[in-house]
Amino acid sequence: AQKVTQAQTEISVVEKEDVTLDCVYETRDTTYYLFWYKQPPSGELVFLIRRNSFDEQNEISGRYSWNFQKSTSSFNFTITASQVVDSAVYFCALSEASGRTGGFKTIFGAGTRLFVKA
Partner 1 sequence: DGGITQSPKYLFRKEGQNVTLSCEQNLNHDAMYWYRQDPGQGLRLIYYSQIVNDFQKGDIAEGYSVSREKKESFPLTVTSAQKNPTAFYLCASQAGQGASSSYNEQFFGPGTRLTVL
By CB under 8 A, name the binding residues for partner 1. 9, 32-33, 35, 37, 42-47, 50, 52, 91, 95-99, 103-106, 108-111, 113
Distance from the Cα of residue 62 to its chain's centroid = 16
Residue (76 or 95) nearer to partner 1, CB: 95
Pairwise CA distance, residues 25 & 71, whole Å: 11
Pairwise CA distance, residues 30 & 78, whole Å: 25
Residue (15 or 48) nearer to partner 1, CB: 48
Give the closest residue to 18 by CA, choosing from 70, 49, 68, 64: 64
CB of 104 to partner 1, least distance (A): 5
Residue (4 or 79) nearer to partner 1, CB: 4
CB of 108 to partner 1, least distance (A): 5
CB of 114 to partner 1, least distance (A): 14
CB of 14 to partner 1, least distance (A): 23
**Which of 59-75 are b and which e, b meaning 16 or more Cβ less than 10 Å from the residue's Cβ?**
eeeeebbbbbeeeebbb
Pairwise CA distance, residues 63 & 116, whole Å: 14
Residue (52 or 83) nearer to partner 1, CB: 52
